[in-house]
Structure 1
Amino acid sequence: MKVLIGCETSGIARRAFAALGHDVWSCDIEPAEDQTNRHIICDIRDGILAEGWDLLAVMHPPCTRLCRSGRRWMSGPGEWTLPKKLPAGRSWGDMKAEFEEGVDVFTTCWKAPIDRVAIENPEMNDLAKGRMPDDLPQPDMVQPFWFGEPAYKNTGWYLRGLPALKPTCVLTEPERNTDEWKRWNRVHRMPPGPERARLRSRSFPGMMNAAAAQWGGHAAEMERAA
């Protein structure tokens, strides 16, 4: 199966699909961390989506202004009213521009001429939902600890032509407010810094192994049945 992993530099998802024998490539505007020759440096909107892929998995598209937690920086009460506060050094125009970019990347990927699409994105705010395609379903929400990863990060997958991920190794959750519970919340407790956004968005290998096995297996079944 020919697979494109979009908006990823870590290589975690790419390696999970490659381990199962798929012809897989990743792409991003930044180089791959592992310096692989199976990574294309490009904007995912610049034509690569039309190159005959069987499956598209978009890992970390720009979502800061699309998610519910980011709404307060873009609008006050109602729709597109002046926010009460803006991030330091940023303008309302900056927020709107980032919002438009997020919408454009997401909708371009969703409408791609590819039979099977999975886009990782948090649950969207009302402003973003109003700009989404009519056929966009509710996200399938999963947690890393369902796939053997001791961590909390509510992860949404918008799926077209693919089944919801099934848990593979559900860990017992730690007691709230214990040291272990705090470690499980490390993604949310990560301190500010230049690497924070990149580290917070990294894929979890256990979840990507499940995605490669389940989505790849589903695609193979569909091909045999065709």
Structure 2
Amino acid sequence: MLDATAYDRRALRVLIACETSGVMRRAFAARGHDVWSCDLLPAEDRSNRHRVEDARDGILEEGWDLLAVMHPPCTRLCRSGRRWMSGPGKWTEPKQLPRGRTVADLRAEFELGVELFTACWRAPIERVAIENPEMNDLAKDRMPADLPRPQMVQPFWFGEPAYKNTGFYLRGLPALEPTQMLQEPERGSDEWKAWSAIHRAPPGPNRWKIRSRTFEGVAEAAADQWGIYSTGACV
């Protein structure tokens, strides 16, 4: 485990991009950091520490110590969305499309996801964490050459009885260490089904919000472990 007593602490300027829930913002704020969130949508908690704007419109250049990008558009970048983007091989005609969508629609969303992810990764910020599922091959082909493999974590590592395989692409930050590992329930049991609620969420207008929300246990761990400042702490 990280020994917080081994490092100096000071208030960091932290930007939480692509977040409307405020979960990660509040976790860092509770530890005394100067933290703001931004998204194209207003904050659910109506915080005055939230800016409604595109992260690519200049906010990334405002002298932040740490950037955490929580929910950038990933539907077209992740492996589960690969089948909608291409058939066999690369960039061939998909065998099927979502109802009411065109190939042009999906590829425009793909380009948006690539552009936003790349802009955040290349931001002039020393410490960066971008939350995103493991990418499909089409997305990997477009990523910066220095992008590492993501650290994959589960909410139940941090005291949250749930499954949601979450990837963090990290620069200048240590991998998150579990804080309260829960014992997994028996597969197929009622408890296991409850833990799998995110993946079992029915289609609907709020499904994206349910699937993207940050668990408080994960946010608390991130604020504790990534909020430590030292010139040699996060190499």
TM-score interval, smaller chain: over 0.9
Q: Which residue of 2 aligns with 1:110?
A: 121
Aligned residue number for residue 194 of structure 1: 205
Residue matched to 1:14: 25
Q: Quick check: 1:74 aligned with 2:62?
A: no
Match of 2:230 in 1: 221
Unaligned runs of 5+ in 1: none
Equivalent residue for 2:196, pick from 185, 188, 194: 185
Tell me which stretches of 4 or more aligned residues in structure 1 moved more than 4 Å.
none
CA deviation profile, 1:109-160 (whole Å, cap 9, x unmatched): 0000000000000000000000000000000000000000000000000000
The 5 A counterparts of 1:168-183 are 168-183=179-194
User: Any idea what the Cα deviations from partners look like across 1:168-187, whole Å, max 9, x if unmatched?
Assistant: 00001000101000000000
Letter in 2 for 1:18: A
RMSD over aligned CA atoms reads 1.3
- Give the Cα separation in 2 of the matches to 1:19 and 1:154: 26
Cα drift, residue 222 of structure 1: 2.3
Listed as ranges, the gaps of 5+ residues in structure 2 are 1-11
Deviations 1:76-100 (A, max 9, x none): 0011000000000000000100000
CA distance in 2 between counterparts of 1:55 and 1:191 reads 35
Shift of 1:199: 1.2
**One-letter amino acid matched to 1:199:** I
SS at match of 2:231: helix
Q: Percent identity?
A: 72
Shift of the 143–216 alpha-carbon distance from structure 1 to 2, 3 Å rule, reads: same
- DSSP-derived class of the 2:110 partner: helix
In structure 1, give the amino acid aligned to 2:126: D
- Higher RCO (CA < 8 A, seq sep 6+): 2
Under a length normalisation based on structure 1, what TM-score does the superposition of the two structures give?
0.97
CA positional deviation for 1:223? 7.1
Structure 1 counterpart of 2:49, from 10, 17, 38: 38
Distance 1:70 1:76 in 2: 12
1:84 match: 95
What is the distance in 2 between the residues matched to 1:140 and 1:76? 28
2:230 is paired with a residue whose SS is helix
Q: How many residues align?
A: 224
